[in-house]
Amino acid sequence: MNTGPFEVWKEDVEPALISKMEEFHQFGYTSVKKEDIWALAMKKLQKQEVSLRIHALVQAVMHLSIRDYMNDVTIASYKESASLYSSETALGELLEDIETGSSSDRHLT
């Protein structure tokens, strides 16, 4: 689904975005911004067949959970780290570091 039509209502649903942002902040996720919530709502709407009505957009924003946000952040992190090691050269260097033990001074604590 194309989420372009929802862009017109971004200003109209700003109170919902602010409310959801403040909710996340109350739970300790203070780095969450309105833009993050908007982007996540757009991703969710792309996966669903919803009517192009403002109440569908508000519902998508208000039903976002911290779990949804953390899943999105985790997936983005995995994709970023995978892209760093996507080339054979980078992977080879990583394996070489592991085999030679040059990375043995790093601890996973």
Structural domain boundaries, residue 13: 1-64
Asked whether the predicted pLDDT for residue 32 surpasses 80, the reply is yes
Q: How many domains does the chain have?
A: 2
Same domain, 11 and 50: yes
Alpha-carbon separation of residue 2 from 28, 48, 94 (angstroms): 33, 10, 40
Asked whether the predicted pLDDT for residue 64 surpasses 60, the reply is yes
Q: Does 6 map to a domain?
A: yes
Q: Does 109 map to a domain?
A: no
Same domain, 57 and 71: no
Asked whether the predicted pLDDT for residue 85 surpasses 80, the reply is no
Farthest CA pair distance, the chain: 59
Residue 19: which of 76, 68, 58 has the closest Cα? 58
What is the per-residue pLDDT for 100? Answer: 76
Same domain, 35 and 80: no
Q: What percentage of the chain has pLDDT greater than the value 90?
A: 48
What is the per-residue pLDDT for 6? Answer: 82
